[in-house]
Structure 1
Amino acid sequence: MRIRRNPSAASRAAVRIRPCRPGEELALLAVFQSSVRGLASRDYTPEQIEAWAPSATSDEFRRQWVARIRSNRPHVAELRGEPAAFADLQASGYIDQFFVAAEFAGRGVGAALMRHLLETARSRNIACLSSHVSLTAQPFFRRFGFRLEKEQSPVLWGVALRNGVMTRRLD
């Protein structure tokens, strides 16, 4: 299944990349939920989706989410002043999270964010990027020069979720 580009006003709007702002962690949770539930559902079962992005989030889940976002310090891609996607880049070159809200898929938001990560990595003299990439996102990462190193099936809440370790050299 391929996401079709929609030439709407939102798709023509300028994407702005900026650091995550304090207090918008739960807005990024909504982006994450939209991405997993709206895009990854074509490659994963309902049980896998629920383990990955629970529909009912507990206070503890939200606390852990906020702590993870604050620790990862992601970059946010926004359209019309609202978060449309986010991704982090760790000092090691590891990308822990890269999510685009379903409504913005195929509109260049993720591409702008990935280009920003690549520029940031080069400016930090990071030689190699790596990430654990979902089946859904692997074609996108391939378009940016990432290679699949190995497939794996980590277990989350007792449910195996296939993904792949992907890398890209920057030298």
Structure 2
Amino acid sequence: MIIRKGNTGDLPEMRRLFTETITSVCKNDYDRNQIDAWKSGSENNERWLEVIENQMVIISKFNGEMTGFCTLDKGSYIDLLFVHKDFQQQGIARRLYMFIEQEARVRNEKKLTADVSKTARPFFEKMGFRIITEQKVNVKGIDLANYKMEKELT
């Protein structure tokens, strides 16, 4: 597996992975309307360009296929962390996360924060995050539950 920094050429594959992962991996935690609203975020070209241009983007690939990606915004906010539906439970999220955490430590950040889906919550808890609050996010008129989480970096 290769882990490298992302670039604009990765955007189509990132957006596809984002949509496919939400559709298949999150179906036990969110209903069809919630999934459709959430994955519609892949259509926001401006948002994805902002991510690739202004955040640290880390990509994992195996045999030329993107297996996951993670982004770090403003040095301490994990904005996106997605692993391909066919590569779940193989340590990819952990490897991507550890890369991001190390980068935050190099930057002398004191904590990491993330807005985490119900599906991703157990992973973030295993990585040492704690829930600050449960949130309701409205996307296209549909409420989705998630969690504001943080981890102190000591």
TM-score of the alignment, normalized to the shorter chain, above 0.5: yes
Equivalents in 2 of 1:68, 1:120: separation in Å? 17
Runs of 4+ residues over 6 Å off in structure 1 = none
Equivalents in 1 of 2:7, 2:138: separation in Å? 31
Residues matched between the structures, number: 154
Partner of 2:141: 158
Higher RCO, 1 or 2 (CA under 8 Å, sep at least 6)? 1
- SS at 1:23 equivalent: helix
Post-superposition CA distance 1:71-105 (Å, at most 9, x none): 32411111112211111112340111111111111
Equivalents in 2 of 1:17, 1:95: separation in Å? 17
Post-superposition CA distance 1:137-157 (Å, at most 9, x none): 000000100001100101011
Matched, 1:122 2:105: yes
Give unmatched runs, 5+ long, in structure 1: 1-14
Equivalents in 1 of 2:87, 2:3: separation in Å? 14
Percent same amino acid among aligned pairs? 30
Equivalents in 2 of 1:29, 1:137: separation in Å? 18
Find 2:39's aligned residue among 34, 53, 57: 53
Find 2:25's aligned residue among 39, 52, 58: 39
Equivalents in 2 of 1:65, 1:86: separation in Å? 13
Post-superposition CA distance 1:101-134 (Å, at most 9, x none): 1111101111111111111111111110000000
Name the amino acid aligned to 1:168. K
Partner of 1:93: 76
- SS at 1:41 equivalent: coil
What TM-score comes out, normalization by structure 2 length? 0.92
Quote the RMSD (CA, aligned, Å): 1.7
What TM-score comes out, normalization by structure 1 length? 0.83
Equivalents in 2 of 1:63, 1:128: separation in Å? 28
Indicate the larger mover: 30-39 or 63-72: 63-72
Find 1:28's aligned residue among 2, 5, 14: 14
Name the amino acid aligned to 2:20. S
Give unmatched runs, 5+ long, in structure 2: none
Equivalents in 2 of 1:168, 1:103: separation in Å? 28
Matched, 1:104 2:90: no
CA contact (8 A) 1:27 1:83 kept: yes
- SS at 1:43 equivalent: coil
CA contact (8 A) 2:55 2:74 kept: no
Report how far residue 63 of structure 1 moved: 4.8
